[in-house]
A = this chain, B = another copy of it.
């Protein structure tokens, strides 16, 4: 499982425990530190985080609400599996949300938003430079999440966040083979998107969002097929 110091926190403020556990488990799930299908034991977590099962349970209920874990009644709770059979529905939703959020960002962004977006853009470039895959994926999600935020539609932002989260798992799953050309291309596309948003060119932003999304989809599909072939060989 996960080898960690067994005392993540010692002294805590009332009410903060749930958020702590929720945040850590969520990250571990999305980074595949907790494998899909692996079991999540309340008692073990209670020991690890030095608290009773009650706040642990609350964190798990929230994670279940977002579909990151699944509860088998009276038996066990598992990290949700990645649904590879229905990737196409995932891609449909992802591309549409790329379009919509980028378009709305071009329409509704304010000066501060661009600052935050640019900051994450350069962070992303840095992770590409450092060839740090895990951070690259996480920061990329944060970058697009910031764009969605600038679009100021909480309904779209909420769905998009979930999709980006799931994307973190999918990308980690298939990104064993580090592809040289892929990340740098994305840095450039990100720059174009920022420019379109700043220029308040709705249609261009929409279009670039679409292209960017389809780019990623195609990339993942290629990796998917490649891995499929490897699986068959085994």
Residues of B contacting A73 in the complex (Cβ-Cβ under 8 angstroms)? 15
A152 within 8 A of B: yes
Instruction: Please report the C-alpha to C-alpha distance between residue A159 and residue B160 in the assembled complex, in whole angstroms.
Output: 10
A177 within 8 A of B: no
Instruction: Please report the C-alpha to C-alpha distance between residue A14 and residue B96 in the assembled complex, in whole angstroms.
Output: 42
Q: Evaluate contact between B156 and A93: CB separation under 8 angstroms.
A: yes
Residues A67-115 near B (CB distance < 8 A)? 73-74, 86, 89-90, 92-93, 96, 100, 104
A155 within 8 A of B: yes
Instruction: Please report the C-alpha to C-alpha distance between residue A86 and residue B93 in the assembled complex, in whole angstroms.
Output: 24
A163 within 8 A of B: yes
Instruction: Please report the C-alpha to C-alpha distance between residue A104 and residue B159 in the assembled complex, in whole angstroms.
Output: 18
Residues of B contacting A66 in the complex (Cβ-Cβ under 8 angstroms)? 65
Number of A residues with CB within 8 Å of any CB on chain B: 28
Q: Evaluate contact between B155 and A90: CB separation under 8 angstroms.
A: yes
Residues of B contacting A153 in the complex (Cβ-Cβ under 8 angstroms)? 89, 92-93
Q: Evaluate contact between A158 and B159: CB separation under 8 angstroms.
A: yes
The chain B residue with its CB closest to the CB of A18 is B61
Q: How far in angstroms is the closest Cβ of chain B from A148?
A: 12
Q: How far in angstroms is the closest Cβ of chain B from A85?
A: 12
A172 within 8 A of B: no
A57 within 8 A of B: yes
Beyond A61-B62, A62-B61, is A89–B15 a contact (Cβ under 8 Å)?
A: no
Contact with B along A51-71 (1 / 0, CB 8 A): 000100110011001100000
- 9 tightest A-B CB contacts, nearest first: A93-B155, A65-B65, A89-B153, A159-B159, A61-B61, A15-B73, A58-B61, A62-B65, A92-B153
Known: A61-B61, A89-B154, A90-B155. 4 other contacts (CB 8 A): A14-B74, A58-B58, A58-B61, A92-B155
Q: 15 A-B Cβ contacts within 8 A?
A: A57-B58, A58-B58, A58-B61, A61-B61, A61-B62, A62-B65, A89-B155, A92-B104, A92-B153, A93-B153, A93-B156, A96-B100, A155-B162, A158-B159, A159-B159
